[in-house]
Structure 1
Amino acid sequence: MPVDPTPCEHFDKEQIKSASKMECQECVKTGDPWVHLRVCQTCGGVHCCNSSVNKHATKHYHDTGHPVVISAEPGEHWAWCYEDDKFMPY
């Protein structure tokens, strides 16, 4: 995956939304485990990554059109824009 340090037009790194809880809100409802967490930068929802069985972060994008998530994992500082298919360290 190519790394481009330039943010896309959908990501405002000055207005980062962080995880309110370190859990996938959808996996909690179904009792499923998750691997890593992502935070939607539009609504602040916390969802599981594509390495997780349910891939709730990607499903959230397809359901809502919210384009950018950030990693909720400690020490990770990157964003992913689904709309632009772009990885962005910040």
Structure 2
Amino acid sequence: MGDCTHASAIHDVEPSSLDGCPECIAMGDRWVHLRICLSCGHVGCCDSSRNRHARRHFEITAHPIIASFQPGEDWRYCYADDVLLEPGPVPAHRA
């Protein structure tokens, strides 16, 4: 694991959606896995998804750190530093 210089961007956030990737839903499209922005709570689809909405959110907002929003996963990733981070608390997943 490398160094991340963006830990201050991590906040206690509420997920923007519990139903999936809002952008994909609006487009009538599908996603593979979900990611949550730890700066604002935006939920978006992963890089393996066609639309890559989580990465697009980073490119638009510069919010650097995401976490997996998949049940049972607790990893984090910093787009800005291109580094996988130590596991940490992630906002509640859908029931």
Do the aligned residues in 2 keep the contact of 1:35 with 1:52 (CA within 8 Å)?
A: yes
Aligned positions of 1:2-81 closer than 5 A: 3-4=1-2, 8-11=4-7, 15-17=11-13, 19=15, 20-81=17-78
State the Cα deviation string for residues 2-56 of structure 1 (Å, max 9, x = none). Answer: x35x6x23236x8443634141011111010000000001110000000001000
Q: Deviation above 3 Å: which 4+ runs of structure 1?
A: 14-20
Do the aligned residues in 2 keep the contact of 1:17 with 1:39 (CA within 8 Å)?
A: no
Tell me, which stretches of 5 or more residues in structure 1 are unaligned? none
Distance 1:85 1:31 in 2: 30
Deviation (angstroms), 1:71: 0.2
Distance 2:14 2:34 in 1: 11
Distance 1:17 1:75 in 2: 18
Letter in 2 for 1:17: V
SS at match of 2:25: helix
Distance 1:18 1:75 in 2: 18
Alpha-carbon RMSD across the aligned residues, in angstroms, is 2.1
TM-score, length of structure 1 as denominator length: 0.82
How many residues matched?
86
